[in-house]
Structure 1
Amino acid sequence: MVDVTDFIIGGLSAGCAGFFSNPLDVLKTRMQLQGELKARGLQKGVVAAVILHSIRNCIRLGLYQTALKKGILTDENGKTVFYKSFIISSVCGAAGAFVGSPLFLIKTQLQSQAVQQIAVGFQHNHRGAISALKTIYSQHGLRGLWRGANGTVIRAVAGSSAQLTSFLMAKDALRDVAYLKNRPYLISFIASFIGGVFQTVAVTPFDLISTRLYNQGIDAQGRGLLYSGVIDCCVKVWKTEGFFGFYKGVGANYMRLAPHSVLTLVFWDYFKELHNVYLSKREIVIRQKL
């Protein structure tokens, strides 16, 4: 049976992390749109960002934890099986990304906004998250809210599989280190840092593509003014900027993803432990009453 608490914990963990990592997300977004940073407003789109991270990871981490509890991801010794974790975390990441795509669209457009003198990329001039939602829906309907979803789903598959699989496998290895045996939160911290490194390498090219797809202007028919889709964006980046064009903003991306990964996964383990402690205490109270 699915435990709703697993989904709440997943969303809460990422929402808390998203609040702290949002300034770095703004830096990354603007670097990917122009390649240099000269703008203020480091908490642009913070509301959309926190809600986005909460919704996406409520689904992603909730589904992944459900699979973990059912023993789908591990062998008979309780060790993480690479291909099982890779497949399940990819599916979980894709599901969360698709549901949260409208908020990713709004967050990206809000974070790219700046005064004209220092503006980067196409400027949508939204007054806020609610205003952006109303404007996009009124002009382009439901389909407009999911514009660019294919890019962020591919991004999520790469990032989720790299992050969660490396995180669990690193934890398995670190538990065998004598010094760390009674230090679960230190294990979580080190493993989450490793997860952030793998996630950054895997996700940056897809992150750049989804950022550009989301932020581009569109015509009256809802078609992008710069890119027709993921493939077109990839081809144009390759032709004009070369291989390293896909890693534009990788430093800022790492500076955001590493702390965000650490905070999300450490919060995730911490909240799960709090929930387990609560369940244990409740069980004791129930037994005492019998």
Structure 2
Amino acid sequence: MEDSKKKGLIEGAILDIINGSVAGACGKVIEFPFDTVKVRLQTQASNVFPTTWSCIKFTYQNEGIARGFFQGIASPLVGASLENATLFVSYNQCSKLLEKHTNVSPLGQILISGGVAGSCASLVLTPVELVKCKLQVANLQAASAKVKHTKVLPTIKAIISERGLAGLWQGQSGTFIRESFGGVAWFATYEIVKKSLKDRHAFDDPKRDENKIWELLVSGGSAGLAFNASIFPADTVKSVMQTEHISLTNAMKKIFGKFGLKGFYRGLGITLFRAVPANAAVFYIFETLSAL
């Protein structure tokens, strides 16, 4: 009996990893062009891109779609697969442990598990986002720049040669803060909205014990909005840390010095816009694959 339980846990974890990887990759393809614009707004001066539309227009006219909006997607595509695999397997395993060994309330389980999942994901995500951010702003570097990497592997090699292996985790503190708090907001919003929507139609159809497709999509989109709205300043700091190789404190000082308080929210609009379809797709695909 004990062996069968362990086997079931292992099989469940493997399925979470596979399903999370597929869902994460699909979500990343949807959101990446918007993310490129967001990173450029976060890291460039306001005279370069005074508005979101000016950034989109410049990128399209000067770099095109593939080279401009999708440059550097290989790294985050792999990263999104790893990130979501880590998020879902960490969240589900932590929830099971809390349910089995503690008396924590269902909401408490969601909050704790979400924080743990986000913390674990930050370790995977930091190197991926470092490479991604560098590639997303590479075309904006001055023509006099000695090296301008536009591919993943040369960028990774350059980082390691300049700063060692630990250099790949530049911005880890910012990513940890973002993902830990964001993980709580992400999972909690999804679970609460999903349950609320299911409870609403339970009276009409008591035999139905699952959410409708649109309810999963709305829950996932809401989770994306909650995640990005709650942690966006930390994401801005992280982007500056990674593109300029500076500490958390110095990044905060630089952003505030250049833009004031609003500088921490440059790119928020397009980020919230992209969050809805991308996160709706992630949760819906994961739930659908898990139900097979």
**TM-score, scaled relative to structure 2:** 0.80
Deviations 1:5-41 (A, max 9, x none): 1112112211111122111111111111124212231
Query: For 2:253, which of 222, 235, 243 is the aligned residue?
Result: 235
Cα shift at 1:54: 0.7
Greater helix share, structure number? 2
Q: Distance in 1 between matches of 2:31 and 2:163?
A: 30
Letter of the 2:185 counterpart: A
> Percent identity at matched positions?
23
**Match in the other structure for 2:129:** 104
Structure 2 gaps of 5+ residues are 1-8, 50-54
Q: 1:235 to 1:139 in 2, by over 3 A?
A: closer
Q: 1:145 to 1:172 in 2, by over 3 A?
A: same
Q: Distance in 2 between matches of 1:123 and 1:263?
A: 40
**Match in the other structure for 1:160:** 183
1:149 partnered with 2:167: no
Do the aligned partners of 1:200 and 1:254 also contact (CA within 8 Å) in 2? yes
Cα shift at 1:126: 1.0
Deviations 1:96-130 (A, max 9, x none): 1112311110011011121558x9xx996113011
**Match in the other structure for 2:79:** 52
Letter of the 1:135 counterpart: A
1:28 partnered with 2:38: yes
CA RMSD in angstroms comes to 2.6
Q: Mean Cα displacement is larger for which, 235-244 or 130-139?
A: 235-244
Deviations 1:206-243 (A, max 9, x none): 11011110111xxxxxxx3xx3x212322332344222
Q: 1:132 to 1:116 in 2, by over 3 A?
A: closer
Letter of the 1:136 counterpart: I
Letter of the 1:272 counterpart: S
1:249 partnered with 2:267: yes
Structure 1 gaps of 5+ residues are 217-223, 275-290
Q: How do 1:1-290 and structure 2 match up within 5 A?
A: 1-2=9-10, 3-34=13-44, 35=46, 36=49, 37=55, 38-39=58-59, 40=63, 41-69=68-96, 72=99, 81-114=106-139, 125-178=148-201, 183-216=211-244, 224=245, 227=246, 229-274=247-292
Letter of the 1:57 counterpart: N
Q: 1:29 to 1:90 in 2, by over 3 A?
A: same
Letter of the 2:251 counterpart: C
Do the aligned partners of 1:113 and 1:124 also contact (CA within 8 Å) in 2? no
Cα shift at 1:246: 1.1
**Match in the other structure for 2:6:** none
Do the aligned partners of 2:42 and 2:239 also contact (CA within 8 Å) in 1? yes
Do the aligned partners of 1:112 and 1:123 also contact (CA within 8 Å) in 2? no
**Match in the other structure for 1:221:** none
